[in-house]
Structure 1
Amino acid sequence: MNYATLKGASYVLVHTPDMVEKNGTTQTTEKIVNPDSDYLKNFNTHLRSYDDVINYAPNQTYIGNLPPKNLKELPQPWINTPYKGTRYGKLGEIMPQHEFYGVMQICDVFELVHLEKEFASNVRNALATEGLFLDDLDKIKEGVTVMWLEEQLKENHAEGLYLNSKLVGCVLRAHEIDLNLTAHTMLENLVVKASGVIALRHLIKTKGINPEDIDYVIECSEEACGDMNQRGGGNFAKAIAESAGCLNATGSDLRGFCAAPTHALITAASHVSSGTFKNVVILAGGATAKLGMNGKSHIGKGLPILEDVLGAFAVLVGENDGLHPVLRSDLVGRHTVSSGSNPQAVTTALVARPLDKAGYTVHDIDAYSVEMQNPDITKPAGAGDVPEANLKMIAAIGVLRKELEKKELMNFVKEKSLPGWAPTQGHIPSGVPYLGYALDDLMTGDKTRAMIVGKGSLFLGRMTNLFDGVSIIIERNDGKFIEDNRPDMKEEVKSVVADTLRQFAESLTNK
């Protein structure tokens, strides 16, 4: 089989403290149902600074500066563990809020984003030193007055952009009556696009990719763009490709709640292995709605708001070069309509079945990347350590399969588990945060294979109560895969078969 390979990955966080209050649904809902709550009164005192966000160990793991094995050694909760970080990492960066507003305007092609004059000038200067957007600075307009911004919010239902609670910009609605083009929706969608563009540009820069060599882009976040006649018509993928200079790319949006990134990874691998496209990028922007999602639990326990960053990523899947990790698109787990929704049934469908097909045991996978939520965020909210819980279930399946003694269960979890380091941005933690590290682990590290697992809760869309999930095994490339798929070897095999058939036919004739 002509396998595709994992060629590169980038990861971006955007610190958006003002968006947490103004756009996170926990906060916007609270303002409607309980506007005088203590939660809202004390909210701003629990926001972290940009330096706090940079000097937070899980965030440094996300952008490539602190390998998971090193994060695992740090005492938890990590919010109490001092760590010195940097803005830029091997895999990406942590961008501050004011620069991100500038990127939003750069990515806006319908003149919906407007910035205050002085703020616009400051952002232009800041992005001039950032590097990724040097050729786009002219897209940051001269700016408008605060009075004009206030009028848009009051009279035309615009959404404000704030810095330290001060109005510095706005996003206009794109239609007067279309509920799918309100300022609220346009802000959410521009955030997806802008953060996705940052991730893709980082991928192009760090991997030395010619953007014109990218054939296809798959966007797999949880938002949808369209108008009243096609609410989710798309297309984030092509819009992001356009803003990243991928002139020869087409693309489409793929949706599947939190499972979408792994669906996209499998789809990309299939596109490449079939020969349809040579270089496919899967990517996703961040979700404003999930900012501060567990804020009440965090503040209630005396913690800062930890869900104060947008997450984004981009992953390159390409042809087999005999070096990069192989995406085994023939070893895929899938939760079907008939799989069942209890934990054992789900784990059997997603983990056990691809192992069975390959003839592997649970021991043969060196790293399981399932739901990589940061436990600092989930534990105070009552959800526990999600990655560890998933590994315990995989270990339990191993016990049931008689591949593991019950007394060895926790040792297995300790050996195989990855610590969670991703922000709870829905699709962002779902398996793919490990791909950047998998490149090193499976090329020069001590691992042979990994499994990426994506899970999704479909009931949220009120169309079905079914669960969802898919998985794929990634393996070290030992060169045999590319040898097996050499065109000259295929022709040689055809020639040998033809000669054999000819000889057989001649033997029948001679008789």
Structure 2
Amino acid sequence: MSNVAVKGYAYCLNHVPELALHYGNTPYVERKTKGDSEFLKQLPGTLQRFDEALAYPANQAYIGGMDLNALEAHPQPWYAHRVEGASRFGKYGEIMPEDEFLGLLDMCDVFDLIWLEESFAARIREKLAAHPFMTPALLARLEKGHSPEEIRGEAEMHHALPLYFGGVPVGCVRQGHDVDECLEAYVLLENLACKAGGVLALLHLFKNAGIAPEDVDFVVECSEEAAGDMNQRGGGNFAKAVAEIAGCVNASGFDVRAFCAGPVNAMIAGASQVAAGARKNCVVLAGGAVPKLCMNSRDHVKKGLPSLEDCLGNFAVLLTPEDGVSPVMRLDALGKHTVAAGAAPQAITGALVWDPLQKLGLGFADVDKYAAELQIPEITVPAGAGNVPEANFKMIAALAVMKKQLEKAEMNEFVRQRGIPGFAHTQGHIPSGVPFVGHACDWINEGRIRRAMIIGKGSLFLARLTNLSDGASFLLEPPQAKKASVDSLTKEDVKALLLEALSDLAVSLGKREA
């Protein structure tokens, strides 16, 4: 059996309410088509301050500042019961404020596309100099800045997009070409923000995994953005661009795209390279999506709720050969949503959950925790999308009943025991299973669970190329050296142990006869 170790993980958020207000797709399109509408007048009053975003329980769970069991037990609604004494830094990463993120955006720019106002740039330089991971080499990338007149001229004469902080312009994003729509300022902002988020997560991963940047061999990037120009709209390469800024001088990389199924597919792609011996230290990472900011805010404003979609999510995971200590990804039973599987929820669940379990001789109860589409319910329920994680867990439970592995009366208890609360922002790819990898690995290391299934599902039909959906899944387990009890072994494991014992016995008997 080929296993690959999950050696480290990092999860960060960038709190960017001004980017959300101006460039989240919902308010951006509203502004372009309807001007200063009533929705846009009310939206600023619903956005969170940084201290509020910091203390939002789901945000703390994402960066490892709160255990998921504690999140589940926390009084609801979470936005009305903030976490007292919340810290910017958690076990997995941080929540970065918007002014520092704009500085990071400039540091990740290699084509002079980001201009910051000179006094703002000076203030941010001081703040970022105090950041634990901002090296002198990174700080040297931060520009000295431009005059307000220069920035205003770029916006008025050359279609640059203003960047705001505290309600006032503090910079701009310049266009990359006069006629190429793929290089217009909005697209470049989207891509640079995604790149910057990936860099931040990677910097945290170095510390969390105890690895130097130069030891990274390969990077697989799995966001939903597309980088290119008019001749190759999605040519890439975010992965290598992130590696460059983070100092991974010995790394190469590529991008994996599969909508929300991208992260799980990228984990499988990266792990397969490690298992094959092609790469030793492979990082899978993703930045966030600016268009998804404030995506459901129209419903939140209408119902007098805070607009919680004000954070860009990002993550990074390090995959290495199995080391006997770290939790592992199993590559011998991967779930995949085939073309023939169909789009019915039951068929998708069967392909992603039941089929890989059957291959290993396991049942639904052999997985302690399932993780799929982990959107924060307080964002999706008011928008009419329901509690997405809970709906997935109910579908798994219903399939277990159909397969006669669970009684119908036990479904709610199955969901309670084997589900987890949604704690990831609605950034498309970000909620799709992989945010649980960190918590799951910690729980496996602590002996709280023995097996978790990570599930990613994607909406391929959004591209208008096919009506198909997509999906993939994999299992996380303790390494072989840590499997402590027979009840955690599969039939194949037991068979292998018996054969090994018989072989040892035969050798022993042969020695006695000699």
Q: Which residue of 2 aligns with 1:90?
A: 91
> Quick one: distance in 2 between partners of 1:189 and 1:480?
42
Question: After superposition, where does 1:331-480 map in structure 2 within 5 Å?
Answer: 331-479=333-481
Cα shift at 1:206: 2.2
TM-score by length of 1: 0.93
Deviation at 1:183, TM superposition (A): 1.1
Alignment partners' CA distance in 1, 2:12 and 2:67? 16
Residues 287-306 of structure 1: matches in 2 within 5 Å? 287-306=289-308
For the residue of structure 2 that corresponds to 1:14, the secondary structure is strand
Between 309-318 and 203-212, the greater mean CA deviation after superposition: 203-212
- Tell me, yes or no, if the aligned pair for 1:391 and 1:413 is still in contact at 8 Å: yes
Is 1:35 matched up with 2:31?
no
Query: Could you tell me whether the CA contact under 8 Å between 1:63 and 1:92 is conserved in 2?
Result: yes
Pair 1:116 & 2:117 matched: yes
CA deviation string 1:126-155 (max 9, x = no partner): 001112213122222221111111110110
Q: How big is the shift at 1:82?
A: 2.7
Aligned residue for 2:492? none
Say if 2:380 and 2:386, in contact at 8 Å, map to a contact too.
yes
SS in 1 for 2:11: strand
Native 8 Å contact 2:2 2:330 kept in 1: no
Q: Which residue identity does 1:4 align to in structure 2?
A: V
Task: Measure how far apart 1:34 and its partner are.
Answer: 2.2
- Tell me if structure 2 keeps the 8 A contact 1:8–1:439: no
| Structure-2 separation of matches of 1:358 and 1:397 | 18
Q: What aligned pairs does 1:115-194 form with structure 2 within 5 A after superposition?
A: 115-135=116-136, 136-194=138-196
SS at match of 2:260: helix
Distance 2:99 2:373 in 1: 30
Show CA shifts across 1:20-70 (max 9, x none): 111101001111232242111111111110000001100000000101111
Secondary structure in 2 matching 1:110: coil
Tell me the distance in 2 between the aligned counterparts of 1:32 and 1:22.
11
Residues 105 and 113 in structure 1, CA contact (< 8 A), matched pair in contact too: yes
Q: Which amino acid in 2 is paired with 1:138?
A: A
Query: Alpha carbon RMSD of aligned pairs, Å?
Result: 1.4
Structure 1 residue 480 displacement after superposition: 7.7
- Residue number in structure 1 paired with 2:20: 20
| Alignment check: 8 A CA contact 2:12 2:314 kept | yes
Tell me the secondary structure at the aligned position of residue 479 of structure 1: helix
- Please state if 1:103 is matched with 2:120: no
2:442 alignment partner, SS class? helix
Q: Does 1:61 align with 2:61?
A: yes
1:323 maps to which of 318, 325, 332: 325
Residues in 2 aligned to 1:140 and 1:36: alpha-carbon distance in whole angstroms: 34
Instruction: Pick which of 391-400 and 225-234 moved more.
Output: 225-234
CA offset at residue 349 of structure 1? 0.6
Q: 1:353-399 CA deviation, whole Å, 9 max, x = no partner?
A: 00100111100000101011000101111111111110000000100
Equivalent residue for 2:488?
Answer: none
Matched residue of 1:237: which SS?
helix
Name the SS for the 1:431 alignment partner.
coil
**Structure 2: runs of 5 or more not aligned:** 484-499, 504-514
> How much has 1:440 moved relative to structure 2?
1.1
The answer as to whether partners of 1:63 and 1:91 remain within 8 angstroms in 2 is: yes
Please name the residue that 2:77 is paired with: 77
Which deviates the most, 440-449 or 193-202? 440-449
Q: Please tell me whether the aligned partners of residues 62 and 433 of structure 1 are also in contact (alpha carbons under 8 angstroms).
A: yes
What is the percent sequence identity of the aligned residues? 50
Matches within 5 A, 1:211-226: 211-226=213-228
Secondary structure of 1:130's aligned partner: coil
Q: Distance in 2 between matches of 1:49 and 1:325?
A: 37
Secondary structure at 1:257's aligned position in 2?
A: coil
The answer to whether the 8 Å contact 1:241/1:247 transfers is yes
Q: CA deviation at 1:80?
A: 1.4
User: Greater CA deviation, 55-64 or 40-49?
Assistant: 40-49
Q: Cα deviation per residue 1:248-284 (whole Å; 9 max; x = unaligned)?
A: 1110000000000000011111111111111110000
Residue pair 2:275, 2:321 contacting (<8 A) in 1 also:
yes
- Cα distance between partner residues in 2 of 1:113 and 1:35: 26
On the 8 A contact 2:209/2:318 being kept in 1, the answer is no
Find the counterpart in structure 2 of residue 45 from structure 1.
Answer: 45
Deviates more, 1:419-428 or 1:436-445: 436-445
1:245 to partner: Cα distance: 1.0
Partner amino acid for 1:124?
R
Contact 1:281 1:315 survives alignment (8 Å): yes
Question: Structure 1 CA distance, aligned partners of 2:44 and 2:193?
Answer: 22
TM-score if structure 2 supplies the norm length? 0.92
| Secondary structure in 2 matching 1:422 | coil
Worse overlay, 344-353 or 77-86: 77-86
Q: SS state of the match for residue 352, structure 2?
A: helix
The 2-side partners of 1:78 and 1:141 are apart by 39
